[in-house]
Chains A and B, each alone.
Chain A
Amino acid sequence: MTSTITLPNPPPSLKAESKKLDFYYGDFKALKGVSMPVYEHKVTALIGPSGCGKSTYLRCFNRMHDLYPGHRYDGSIHLHPDEVDVLHSSVDPIEVRMRVSMVFQKPNPFPKSIFENVAYGLRVRGERSRTFLEDKIEAALKGAALWDEVKDRLDEVAVNLSGGQQQRLCIARSLATDPEILLFDEPTSALDPIATGSIEELIGEIKSKVTVLIVTHNMQQAARVSDYTAYMYLGELIEFGDTKDIFMKPRRKETEDYITGRFG
């Protein structure tokens, strides 16, 4: 089955692009020939019913699958403008993760202090200078709209923060290292509506600095937050286009069925 892709005209600059991406968990083919653009400084949302492969697709971007044996990539994901194929075996996954960062579904701050949490990515890159770290951490926490709430207790343990604060902390942790792409894997499904709102607002603000790829099972969220939307089903990309078009006048019947709630 072919995907229906409506490219914007004129197209904004391309940050990343997957080309005929297949993915196997052992013998099971979880992704089938997904080819999709990711535009720079825009928010692209991946939607679809459970098991459609959206999280699997997202995790290819930062080689998370490499942590678990029995997986296989086929096809490519290119980062622009240097054209690196993220999935190629000669590319070090650690270097990929230094350019492409991730925020997870369940907030996962480390059981360390707030300061050390945000500093972790920088420390892994060898930064030692205390003043440098402090500046970067302040900038990251401000970027995650958390600075005012924690600036007086940076040495406190991060797990004492509320769920929404923890998730913003994880976002700050990623922002501190200036990633090129920030992946969000259902970032608000474990949060209450108010926290969800603040995260969505944050995503709107940070897109000027990073490119955002977000998986969400909440269609309204996709409609609120994203510029472009991709609808996936059973491992295939069914339709891609401007978010307004996808939600107002989808071109494929499958997309329309999902959006109107006829199934999924």
Chain B
Amino acid sequence: MAVTSTTSTLAVTSPSITGAAKLAEYARSKARRRRTERVIESVLLLAACVSVFTTIGIVYILVRESASFFAHVPLWTFLTDTQWTPLFDDAHFGILVLLAGTVSSSAVALSIAIPLGTIIAIYLSEFAGHKTREIMKPLLEMLSGVPTIIYGYFALLFVTPMLQKLYPELPGFNVLSAGIVMGVMIIPYVSSLSEDAMRAVPMSLREGSYAMGATRFQTAVKVVVPAALSGIAAAYILGISRAVGETMILAVAAGMQPNLTLNPLEPAATITSYIVQVALGDLPHGSIGYQTIFAAGLTLMLLTLFFNLIGYWMRRKYREAY
């Protein structure tokens, strides 16, 4: 009695006319169908793998060009030289100069984005009514939706003149304006993720605090923020990552002049704006100047990767909390 199926026996019993004929036909084409389904799955898999190929491509190209670069320039010099003048006859390749620009611009930006972003997140999560949230959230999202070139324009032609009224010695290109505008642009990154982290804190924790007679501010600061801490930290890391990677605002408003200083009142070049400067020029493919942008790019990649990993680890930690 226990007989396993083969394609032909499956069609025997169906009562209706179409049934039997259809099932037989269906069974006959089973092999073809299986193959089609498998082909479709492979095509979809290939598409999903494009992201892996992209990462491999990025790593490959950065490493390959940097390898040629580091064949000429020792790593130690790269990390410790205090000048960055790759296109001069007396060429110097000290990445610290560009890093200084990146650090000072990010510091200015984050000193605005982190406090304001956190305050906004706490306000929207714990204080604001539904209507306020509905209006403010999209408005803040718009801040991150404006193309950065336009922020660059704004920093150069609006913020800098305004700052110059307060401090007339401010040079036309300076890190401060760019940093301020960058900071405002990054606010939604910080506030959105922090707010999500805080909204995820269960209501029961808040109720416990209110029941003890605490105000909204006390509950927010003593109960909600500590509970959402790793999510908030992840938001900060996202902000840092975004600041380090920003290009156009700095390229337009901070000048593209390498300058080993942490003073935001001067112009400076960052890793990102340097790459733009080179790309705007005419560097022959394969020359040392051309390779410097890949070395710079590799440094940037490692920096961003470092922050992304920390952020990823923190996000996993916060998901495990509930």
The distance from the CB of B38 to the nearest CB of chain A, in whole angstroms, is 13
Query: Is A252 at the interface (CB under 8 A from chain B)?
Result: no
Chain B interface residues (CB < 8 Å from chain A):
1-5, 9-10, 12-16, 18-19, 22-23, 25-27, 30
The distance from the CB of B3 to the nearest CB of chain A, in whole angstroms, is 5
| B4 with A82: CB separation less than 8 A | no
| A82 with B10: CB separation less than 8 A | yes
Using Cβ atoms and an 8 Å threshold, which residues of chain B touch A90? 4-5
Query: Is A72 at the interface (CB under 8 A from chain B)?
Result: no
Given contacts A78-B1, A83-B1, contact A95 B12 (CB under 8 A): no
Bound complex: CA A88 to CA B2 (Å): 11
| A178 with B3: CB separation less than 8 A | no
Given contacts A178-B18, A180-B14, contact A84 B9 (CB under 8 A): yes
Chain A contacts with B in 88-103, Cβ cutoff 8 A: 88, 90-92, 95, 98-99
| B5 with A91: CB separation less than 8 A | yes
The distance from the CB of B24 to the nearest CB of chain A, in whole angstroms, is 11
User: Other than the known A76-B2, A127-B18, what 19 A-B pairs have Cβ atoms closer than 8 Å?
Assistant: A80-B13, A81-B12, A82-B10, A83-B9, A84-B9, A84-B10, A85-B3, A85-B4, A85-B5, A90-B4, A92-B30, A95-B26, A98-B26, A99-B14, A126-B22, A126-B26, A177-B19, A178-B16, A178-B18
Query: Is A262 at the interface (CB under 8 A from chain B)?
Result: no
Chain A residues with a Cβ closer than 8 Å to the other chain, count:
23
| B2 with A125: CB separation less than 8 A | no
**In chain B, what residue has the closest Cβ to A89?**
B4
| B22 with A95: CB separation less than 8 A | no
Using Cβ atoms and an 8 Å threshold, which residues of chain B touch A81? 12-13
| A125 with B10: CB separation less than 8 A | no
Using Cβ atoms and an 8 Å threshold, which residues of chain B touch A125? 22, 26
Given contacts A83-B2, A84-B10, A88-B4, contact A178 B19 (CB under 8 A): yes
**In chain B, what residue has the closest Cβ to A88?**
B4
| A98 with B23: CB separation less than 8 A | yes
Bound complex: CA A154 to CA B26 (Å): 29
Mask for A155-196, Cβ within 8 A of B = 1, else 0? 000000000000000000000011010000000000000000
| B2 with A78: CB separation less than 8 A | yes
**In chain A, what residue has the closest Cβ to B23?**
A98
The distance from the CB of A172 to the nearest CB of chain B, in whole angstroms, is 15
The distance from the CB of A93 to the nearest CB of chain B, in whole angstroms, is 12
Using Cβ atoms and an 8 Å threshold, which residues of chain B touch A85? 2-5
Bound complex: CA A63 to CA B89 (Å): 75
| A95 with B14: CB separation less than 8 A | no
The distance from the CB of A21 to the nearest CB of chain B, in whole angstroms, is 13
Mask for A111-125, Cβ within 8 A of B = 1, else 0? 000000000000001
The distance from the CB of B50 to the nearest CB of chain A, in whole angstroms, is 25
Using Cβ atoms and an 8 Å threshold, which residues of chain A touch B13? 79-82, 180
| A95 with B23: CB separation less than 8 A | yes
Bound complex: CA A207 to CA B4 (Å): 28
Given contacts A76-B2, A88-B5, contact A95 B27 (CB under 8 A): yes
| A84 with B5: CB separation less than 8 A | yes
Which of B1, B5, B10 has the largest number of chain A CB atoms within 10 A?
Answer: B5
Bound complex: CA A84 to CA B4 (Å): 6
The distance from the CB of B109 to the nearest CB of chain A, in whole angstroms, is 46
Given contacts A92-B30, A95-B10, A125-B26, contact A178 B5 (CB under 8 A): no
Using Cβ atoms and an 8 Å threshold, which residues of chain A touch B9? 82-84
Using Cβ atoms and an 8 Å threshold, which residues of chain A touch B12? 81-82
Contact of A83 among B3, B15, B16, B25 (CB under 8 A): B3
Using Cβ atoms and an 8 Å threshold, which residues of chain B touch A178? 14-16, 18-19
